[in-house]
Amino acid sequence: MDPFLTLSGTALARLIRERGALSVEIVEAHARRVREVNPRVNAMVANRFDLARAEARAADLRVAREDPASLPPLLGVPCTVKECFALTGMPNTGGLPSRVGHPATRDATAVARLRAAGAIPLGVTNISELCLWMEASNPNYGRTNCAYDPGRTSGGSSGGEGALIGSAASPFGVGSDIGGSIRMPAFFNGVFGHKPSGGLVPNTGQFPCTEHGLVRVLTTGPICRKAEDLYPLLRLLAGPDGIDKGCTEMPLSDPATVSLEGLDAVSVEDDGLLSVSEDLRAAQRRAASCLAARGARIRVERVPALARAILMWTATVATGGESTYLSLLGDGRPFNLGFEFLMWAAGRGRHTLPALGLGLIEAISSRFPPRFGPLLEETAALRADLARRLGPGGVLLYPSYPEPAPRHNKPLLRPINWIYTGIFNVLEMPVTQVPLGLNDRGLPLGCQVASIPGNDHRTIAVAMALEQAMGGWVVPQPRR
């Protein structure tokens, strides 16, 4: 494999800046890798390779002419972008057929910030329909496969990002997360993903996007093959843009300031409702042992309230927004749910079954609205309980999902497994998904590292330590 394909974005930027390699070489190596793996994973849904080559040539000219100290931090480094983010000239459908043929006319805030830092987007990557399901599949682009086994899901909704980065076709990308959409794909594809503290990074320029009480539940963050990219990318993405009302100015500390000596780490191995596979439990225990060897104080605990996490997430989302899911499916037009189910049953469906199922759940619940007040109180109580357990500087180790990457369509049989990630969205806590090697079937293992809001640097510091101790991302040798 081309050595460029195993380096971090930070290392690639340094190579370019110090004239150890040309941006055109690095961009071309990743474009070749995309062409090589995409027939297997179906992750990149539209490319801009010609534009990327031109931008790489321009980057190399800047390196030749300018003082290295004056160059943008990611000058000439390729990256990828989740399709729900606007990238000028690229599709921005959100997986809806009705939005095909209307490319983005400007960049989303996160994309604009990466490009201002010198990063070069190679293209946009696959998603689940309206970004609300565990598999990256939609009528426009089909289904994305896991980087390690094409018979398994890449996760959703940032499944295209996870699969390409896990396949060594992109050093990093930008994703969004309202219930685990950064962390599940990162976990299933063996890479790092960070869900920031609620309100740290603006969500402007996404479709779909949240509103009102959900603006801090949806988060924008990085997915990377190397942990050393997490903090530099988060620092570039963070801060108000004057548009997203949920994004506020908050301090962002450097992971280098975090010492593991004396760090309080609480390990919770399941939520008390959904069982976790033994290989994931064992991997989390190994991670805890690695932290203990560096001086961390490990406590294994149970948090009974987590068994009601799905109810808490549902209550928060149901009461926080104004637009309905069915209105989003209709994209401004009336949506006939019964007709669309008939079309799907006849093999002529214009929407995925998970999307129609979510619409049906919404339609039924609107007729029999539950009382969400007590659940919102439970959510606040859980937030306070975790803050008490962790203290101002502690971290929580928690499974990323009950099992390694499941086979395609299996999530339909266990439709709430994503709540292992989703609960942290409504708690607005920062969380980093950390790869922890492979199991005996060659599938990625991992766990989440969470902390109280504002402690993004602590979860990233722990991720970097675990990468050093346990190896981090492993180049896949996928089954065919």
Tell me the average pLDDT across 460-477. 97
User: Residue 478: what pLDDT?
Assistant: 62
Q: Is the pLDDT of residue 367 over 80?
A: no
Chain Cα centroid distance, residue 373: 30
What band does 480 get if pLDDT is binned at 50, 70 and 90? low
pLDDT (mean) for 113-122: 98
In a domain? residue 321: yes
Residue 480 counted as domain residue: no
| Domain membership flag for residue 59 | yes
Phi and psi at 389, nearest 5°, equal: -65, -40
Q: Is residue 279 part of a domain?
A: yes
Span 221-239, average pLDDT: 98
Q: Give 184-210 pLDDT, tens digit per residue.
A: 999 999 999 999 999 999 999 999 999
Q: Is 70 a catalytic residue?
A: no
Residue with the bigger pLDDT between 366 and 444: it is 444
Q: Is 479 within the bounds of a domain?
A: no
Domain that holds residue 61: 3-470
CATH code of the domain in which 229 resides = 3.90.1300.10
Question: Per-residue pLDDT tens for 423-442?
Answer: 999 999 999 999 999 999 99
Active-site option among 128, 137, 157, 400: 157
* Total domain count, the chain: 1
Q: Is residue 477 part of a domain?
A: no
Spatial separation of the C-alpha atoms in residues 477 and 480, rounded to whole Å = 9
pLDDT, tens digit (0-9, with 9 covering 90-100), for 36-72: 999 999 999 999 999 999 999 999 999 999 999 999 9
181 is catalytic: yes
Taking alpha carbons only, the member of 136, 153, 43 closest to residue 406 is: 153
Catalytic residue among 8, 167, 170, 181: 181
Of 8, 82, 176, 226, which one is the catalytic site residue? 82
Q: What percent of the chain has pLDDT over 90?
A: 94
Q: Looking at the whole model, is its pTM more than 0.95?
A: yes
Averaged pLDDT, 465-471: 98
Per-residue confidence (pLDDT) for residue 479, from 0 to 100? 64
Whether 158 is catalytic is: no
pLDDT digits (tens, 9 = 90+) for 157-192: 999 999 999 999 999 999 999 999 999 999 999 999
188 with 473: CB under 8 angstroms?
no
Strand arrangement of the beta sheet that strand 431-438 belongs to = 44-47, 120-125, 78-82, 172-177, 219-224, 192-195, 431-438, 444-450, 395-398, 264-267, 297-300
Average pLDDT over every residue of 79-104: 97
What mean pLDDT comes out for the span 243-265? 97
In a domain, 476, yes or no: no
Residue 323 predicted with pLDDT over 90: no
Asked, for residue 318, whether it belongs to a domain, the answer is: yes
